[in-house]
Amino acid sequence: MIEPSTLTRVDVDNGAVPAGGKLPSRAQREARPPHIEFLGLPFCLLTQTDVIRFILDHVNGPYGYVVTPNAYHVATVHNDPAGLMPVYRGARLSLCDSRILRALAKIDGRSLPLVTGSDLVAALLAAWGAGAAANAPRRLLVVGPSRAAETALRGAYPDLAVEVMPAPHGLAGDAELRDSVARACVERPWDILLLCVGCPAQELIAQRIAALGRTTGIALCVGAAIDFVIGTSTRAPLWVQKLSLEWAYRLVREPRRLWRRYLVESPKILRVFLATRGARHH
C-alpha cells in the first residue's frame, strides 16, 4: 500500500509515467485531491460524498473536467497513449468507475474508492439542486441525449436551469465534429456540464474546451449515466453489480451495440494489468 504521506505527491514522484503520458501542471496538482497511480493512470482517493463536496466547492472556480475510467477506458487509453494519456492525466478528478478495476487494484495492494458515473450524477444533481431556488440559478448543460431528456431532467430537478444539446454521431473519429461541439459548449452558459457521448470523444471534448479558453465550470465525462438518471435505461440489480457482472447485464440488453466493447476491447485490461504490474516489480 502507498503511505498516506505520499498520496499528494504520487503523480509526480513515482516516476511511472508511461510513454506518451504527461504530468499535470503545478497549478493542476495543487487544485486536485490526492490521486494514486494504477495501470498508468491517476485514480482519485475521495469517496463519492467527498467528490460531490469537491465539485460543488469548485463549480464556480477555474474550469476543470472529471473523467471516470473503467476497464474499457483504460484499454482505450493504452491503445493510443500518446493521444489519450495526457487527456486523462490532465483531468481535475479521475474516478474509478469499475468494480473490476477495483479488484485488480486490490490484487496490486491498492485501495480505490468506487465512484460510478451513474451513481455520481444522480447524487450530484440532487445535492446541487437542493436549495437552488433561493439563490442564483444553477445552470446544467447536458451534451449527448435527445431533447426529450431535457423535459425529463427539468421535471426531476426543477430548481436547476437545464439545457440539453444533442450530439452528432461519429464524434470519436472526427476531430472537426468534436471541435464544433466543444465550441458550442464554450459559448453556452453553464456551471456543470455533463458530456454523455462515450469514450474517448467526451474526454477529448472536455480537454478541447479548456484549450478554447473556457474559464469556469466543471465538466463531467459520464457516458450513459444520464440515461440511467432519467430512466431510459436501467441499472443491473445490486446483487449483479456486487458480483462485478453489470457489464454482462448491459451486454444481454444491448448485444449489437456493446458486444465488441465488452468481449473484445475491455478484456485487454488484463494485458495492461500484467504489463504494468511486471514493470512495477522489476
pLDDT tens column, 114-139? 999 999 999 999 999 875 555 667 99
Count how many domains the chain has. Answer: 1
> Is the pLDDT assigned to residue 71 strictly greater than 90?
yes
Strands 160-166 and 64-67: unpaired
- Note whether residue 245 is domain-resident: no
Which H/E stretch holds residue 165?
Answer: strand 160-166
- Note whether residue 42 is domain-resident: yes
Determine the average pLDDT of the residues in 241-266: 77
> Is the pLDDT assigned to residue 18 strictly greater than 50?
no
- Note whether residue 139 is domain-resident: yes
Determine the average pLDDT of the residues in 28-32: 59
Q: Which pLDDT score, from 0 to 100, does residue 115 have?
A: 97
Q: Which letter does DSSP use for residue 133 in this model?
A: G
Cell 468481449 found at = 263
Q: Which pLDDT score, from 0 to 100, does residue 12 have?
A: 33
Cell 472529471 found at = 66
Q: Which amino acid is at 253?
A: R
Q: Which pLDDT score, from 0 to 100, does residue 266 have?
A: 83
Kindly list the distances between the CA atom of residue 250 and the CA atoms of 54, 154, 232, 255, 261, in Å, as whole numbers in the listed order.
30, 27, 13, 8, 11
Neighbouring-strand partners of residue 141:
163, 193
Rounded to an integer, what is the distance from CA 130 to the centroid of its chain? 23
- Note whether residue 244 is domain-resident: no
Strands 138-144 and 93-94: unpaired
Kindly state the cell numbers that stand for 46: 475521495
Among residues 163, 183, 158, 180, which one has the least CA distance to residue 171? 180
Neighbouring-strand partners of residue 36:
43
- Note whether residue 243 is domain-resident: no
278 class by beta-carbon count within 10 Å (0-12 exposed, 13-18 middle, 19+ buried): exposed
Q: Which pLDDT score, from 0 to 100, does residue 63 have?
A: 97
Determine the average pLDDT of the residues in 56-81: 95
Q: Which pLDDT score, from 0 to 100, does residue 239 have?
A: 78
Q: What are phi and psi of 123, to 5 degrees?
A: -70, -40
Residue ranges making up the domain that contains 22? 4-238+250-280
Neighbouring-strand partners of residue 218:
64, 192
Determine the average pLDDT of the residues in 180-197: 97
